[in-house]
Amino acid sequence: MKRILGIIALAATFTVAAQAQETALTDAREFKKVGASVGQFLKIGVGGRSTAMGTAYAGFSGDLSTLHYNVAGMNTIEGIAAEFGYTSWFGGFTHNFMALSVPVGEDYRAAIDIVSFSSGQINVRTLADPDGTGAVYSLSDVAIGLSFGGDVTENFSFAGKFKYIDQGFSSLSASGIAFDFGTMYNTGIKGIMLGFAVANLGSDLTYEGQDLVIAVDSEEGLDNEEVDATLVSNAFSLPLSFRAGISVDLLNMDKADNLGNTTLEHQLNLGADFIYLSDSPEQAALGVEYAWNEIISLRGGYLLGHDQMDVSGGAGINYDGGSFAGAIDYSVTNTVDLGLIHRVTVGLDLN
């Protein structure tokens, strides 16, 4: 029965992926891709480990940042887990991520995550007042996700996520819903993992708010009092994406202590992702991670096809006390024109 469910889930994922690619191609031809979508903050990577590896993370699992890249990656987490991430974005913007997951029975997991992107106060400038009018505005975006998934077979897992998205700009706001779907497949061949994910499959967003209200003459050509009229905003699609990834541990060298407990002494993890986006050119991500005794990790990555981001790197420290485990990860990403982007993530796991 589980094998049949696995085949059905895999077929459903590829069907959604094919529809996503078809929609993406249509948008690309009609809008020339760039600038065709809202919700750009949904494309910003989360997690110190994953971003240090160039976001080549669809084939990895074991921490809650997988909720962003491939929601099925959460299925290998044991016990109650939480993760908190902070990103110092360029231009004074901040990007935050927090997530919590709990087991549901033996084979399933549920999770909630929140992503926020904010600007703080920005001075209003006009052609008449280039130094500022004295008024201020701010940008505030948030996405709240609810995820559920589990192991369909021994080697195959599946998960889905429902997202509520809200974007605010000055007095304008737009909200909508979206869905993410992901699968993970353990090939059983030297630790090779395959991951496939579709993200931001959902409704269009339309802005509403006071800034769309303007004063107009009630009848053109007559000296009448002005009345309020509301401009109608176009509907904008979300940045639909399809991601396929692979990961492998080339070393997988373990050791046992006097009590028979096994620890991976040396790991050399490699990852590669292909990323198809509805509003920008295709991208590819490459990542590498060396881990010693599951305590200290060094990482590097490269993102190809992006007009700003390229090289990334970082490090992590893990602690495992049996019933409690924790991790601190740091990453830095280079941009061509906008400087360095720094991220810090703290993860907790109660087994």
Highest mean pLDDT among 96-100, 106-110, 228-232: 96-100
Q: Is residue 94 part of a domain?
A: yes
**What residues contact residue 286 under an 8 Å CB cut-off, 6+ apart?**
54, 56, 271, 272, 301, 302, 304
Cross-strand bridge partners of residue 168: 140, 173
User: Strands 139-151 and 226-230: what pairing?
Assistant: unpaired
Digit-coded pLDDT (tens) for 14-71: 444 444 444 443 333 344 566 678 889 999 999 999 999 999 999 999 899 999 999 9
Residue 320 vs residue 99, higher pLDDT: 99
The Cα 121–Cα 110 span in angstroms is 36
Q: What is the distance between the terminal CA atoms of the chain, rounded to a whole angstrom?
A: 29
Position 262 scores a pLDDT of 56
**Average of per-residue pLDDT values in the chain:** 84
**Number of domains present in the structure of the chain:** 1
Q: Is residue 258 part of a domain?
A: yes
Q: Is residue 191 part of a domain?
A: yes
Domain that holds residue 120: 2-285
Residue 50 vs residue 191, higher pLDDT: 50
Position 345 scores a pLDDT of 97
Digit-coded pLDDT (tens) for 141-185: 999 999 999 999 889 999 999 999 999 888 888 999 999 999 999
Q: Is the confidence at residue 228, as pLDDT, over 90? A: no
Position 4 scores a pLDDT of 41
Closest to 45 measured CA to CA, from 305, 282, 342:
342
Q: How confident is the model at residue 261 (pLDDT cuts 50, 70, 90)?
A: low
Position 12 scores a pLDDT of 45
Position 10 scores a pLDDT of 41
CA angle at 244 for the pair 241 and 246, rounded to the nearest 5°: 150
Closest to 340 measured CA to CA, from 327, 350, 328, 330:
330
CA angle at 56 for the pair 248 and 320, rounded to the nearest 5°: 65
Q: Is residue 331 part of a domain?
A: no
Position 222 scores a pLDDT of 57
CA angle at 147 for the pair 144 and 150, rounded to the nearest 5°: 170
Position 263 scores a pLDDT of 61
Cβ 337 vs Cβ 328: under 8 Å: no
Q: Which structure tokens are listed for 217?
A: 């003459």
Q: Which structure tokens are listed for 167?
A: 């974007």
Q: Is residue 341 part of a domain?
A: no
Write the secondary structure of 124-185 as one string of H (helix), E (strand) and C (coil): CCCCCCCCCCCCEECEEEEEEEEEEEEECCCCEEEEEEEEEEEEEECCEEEEEEEEEEEEEE
- CA distances (Å), origin 241, targets 70, 132, 182: 11, 38, 12
Q: Is residue 161 part of a domain?
A: yes
Position 180 scores a pLDDT of 97
Q: How large a percentage of the chain has pLDDT more than 70?
A: 84
Q: Is residue 347 part of a domain?
A: no
Cβ 101 vs Cβ 80: under 8 Å: yes
Cβ 248 vs Cβ 269: under 8 Å: yes
The Cα 296–Cα 330 span in angstroms is 12
Cβ 248 vs Cβ 270: under 8 Å: yes
CA angle at 76 for the pair 72 and 80, rounded to the nearest 5°: 105
Averaged over 207-223, what is the pLDDT? 72
Q: Is residue 65 part of a domain?
A: yes
Residue with tokens 């699968």: 183
Q: Is the confidence at residue 6, as pLDDT, over 90? A: no
